[in-house]
Structure 1
């Protein structure tokens, strides 16, 4: 991308690809660094994944018409999109086809001259903290932490519900259901309040294994019980077993954040993801754990979500090098030459 592109407004596009489909945001990047939003849209169809990884052709079939529609709505049909950032779940391990095919296809289809391809954890980080050093914990059904000192990325957990995701929604839900079954059996560590809520939600507990084990969406089923654990842990008559599960989850989350936190005072820690919506029964012990494990860090609100992060990264490309570190699997930047555009693009 040439230096001249920083002296005039340019269009930039952020893309967030996940299990629920594709989300896109178009904005105008001003020379003074301001980002002026110009619309969002979504394609409610997830990008296909095959034996070769994420399907670049299918992603483009969803992305290009949606992007052109946003440009048309903004009165900019046919104008080039200077930079695009695609953040995708699975990019780190399944993104080879995207890295091979997207830069050239976006140059041809949108006259794009700066393409960033990122794991969704990276766009989540950029949405929460921008281009500052720190840690972002993303917790929903699963749990992962990503940290950087702006020289390299550090990742912890995100290994899935069987091997990790410790402290995430599926982890909490599974622990809550175990406590319910312990109460049903009369074993130590059981919780009658959790047993009551498990029966209300899933029916007689004798049939619970058959309703959980065969499910292809088992992590989500387990995570659906996490809010019930939080409800049992809340209030003056809080169930001590449920409260203990959330304290343990807080300890796991804080330990994961500590594993990736850059050294030094003042590092920022942001929390993102639906799990934290269960509120104070988890957040109160988590704040205490973070204060103990990371006494020199500062807990800050997340500024935005992964789509905001993708847009931020795209907007940074016309200004020059990213402050976030590039990485072969987590964040790659290409600067293809759009057809018909001469000169060197570095």
Structure 2
């Protein structure tokens, strides 16, 4: 067995913007400083789920390149790999079937973790302690654990859920804009003006949105305008942000562990939070009211650092996060456990 101080681990973050890979040495405190590589080509998702072969076609050369760096006199041994992928929970069947054997053959690894991206976001934000993480970007999902099991809430996509996320928020703002255009109650002249500036005449908006395959991203692009109108005092926009905060708090409340014997932490992550106080102020108020025994903390790291930390824990036998077939699939030398 390779000593932990001489082992290297790989973390992978696969999402809609491409593939990020990091290689780091295992230290007594976890992964050391990482070398990274980035591919801007997203991994395809088809009828069979996430395309394992396309992921491997990108991942293997990236890891080989990182292993050859550093002047160590040869390729550095890889003890464990952790892959975090968007859609793993429902679309990861092909990855679970093909990646363990392929990565063992390529690198001789002893441990492999295949995780939902929400789990690597959790590990990056909170490490290996009980708590909850909300990931709010274009979509919205919350995960929590008491270190015995995972809980997940929402993350059902922009048609069925992702309530309070960027696409939800943008859609609510555009609906209020169209109400004002029609003369219906609940409309906002400020949001109508913002929508016309961003998309043109209201009558053309359906044609711009409905045929688009990237419709969630287009809807989410309007979320900052809703926040701007709220910051400028538009009451309809203020109400939309308050409702978004309630929806996000619903998910956090559903997954937050209640009986850990100590105060639990909630981390808020994701690009939607950059819209600032119009969302954060009501969200913090909702969380304080519903979960008085919890504290909101800043995330310590991102999903890629979370994947590295899971790989390091696998390499050293110190993983405390619970395994789960859909959320955190652990494959050792004998297969999945």
TM bucket (normalised to shorter chain) is: over 0.9
1:34 Cα offset (Å): 4.1
**Structure 2 contact 68–76 (Cα < 8 Å) conserved:** no
Report what 2:46 is aligned to: 50
Partner residue of 1:255 out of 250, 253, 264:
250
Alpha-carbon RMSD? 1.4
Report the number of matched residues.
Answer: 332
Further displaced range: 34-43 or 59-68? 34-43
Report what 2:281 is aligned to: 284
1:189 Cα offset (Å): 0.8
Equivalent-residue separation in structure 2 for 1:244 and 1:135 (angstroms)? 26
Matched, 1:132 2:129: yes
Partner residue of 2:64 out of 48, 62, 68:
68
Equivalent-residue separation in structure 1 for 2:30 and 2:120 (angstroms)? 19
Matched, 1:179 2:176: yes
1:171 Cα offset (Å): 0.8
**Structure 2 contact 141–155 (Cα < 8 Å) conserved:** yes
Equivalent-residue separation in structure 2 for 1:179 and 1:290 (angstroms)? 26
1:281 Cα offset (Å): 0.5
- Is there any run of 5+ residues in structure 1 with no aligned partner, and where? 338-345
Partner residue of 1:327 out of 319, 324, 331:
324
Report what 2:29 is aligned to: 33
Equivalent-residue separation in structure 1 for 2:170 and 2:34 (angstroms)? 40
Report what 1:192 is aligned to: 189
Matched, 1:158 2:155: yes
**Structure 2 contact 30–313 (Cα < 8 Å) conserved:** no
Equivalent-residue separation in structure 2 for 1:222 and 1:38 (angstroms)? 35
1:321 Cα offset (Å): 4.6
Equivalent-residue separation in structure 2 for 1:165 and 1:34 (angstroms)? 33
1:211 Cα offset (Å): 1.1
**Structure 2 contact 23–36 (Cα < 8 Å) conserved:** yes
Partner residue of 1:307 out of 304, 311, 326:
304
Q: Secondary structure at the match of 2:37?
A: strand
Matched, 1:215 2:212: yes
1:78 Cα offset (Å): 2.2
Equivalent-residue separation in structure 2 for 1:35 and 1:332 (angstroms)? 20
- Is there any run of 5+ residues in structure 2 with no aligned partner, and where? none
Q: Secondary structure at the match of 1:87?
A: strand
Q: TM-score, normalised by structure 2?
A: 0.95
Equivalent-residue separation in structure 1 for 2:182 and 2:133 (angstroms)? 40
Q: Secondary structure at the match of 1:73?
A: coil
Equivalent-residue separation in structure 1 for 2:309 and 2:297 (angstroms)? 18
- Divergent runs of 4+, >6 A: none
1:329 Cα offset (Å): 1.1
Post-superposition Cα deviations, 1:102-161, rounded to whole Å, max 9, x if no partner, equal: 112111111211111111111011011011100000011110000100000000001111
1:19 Cα offset (Å): 1.3
Equivalent-residue separation in structure 2 for 1:178 and 1:79 (angstroms)? 55
Report what 2:238 is aligned to: 243
Partner residue of 2:98 out of 94, 101, 118:
101
**Structure 1 contact 114–336 (Cα < 8 Å) conserved:** yes
Post-superposition Cα deviations, 1:274-318, rounded to whole Å, max 9, x if no partner, equal: 000100000000000000011110100011111110001001112
**Structure 2 contact 79–109 (Cα < 8 Å) conserved:** yes
Q: TM-score, normalised by structure 1?
A: 0.93
**Structure 1 contact 38–74 (Cα < 8 Å) conserved:** no
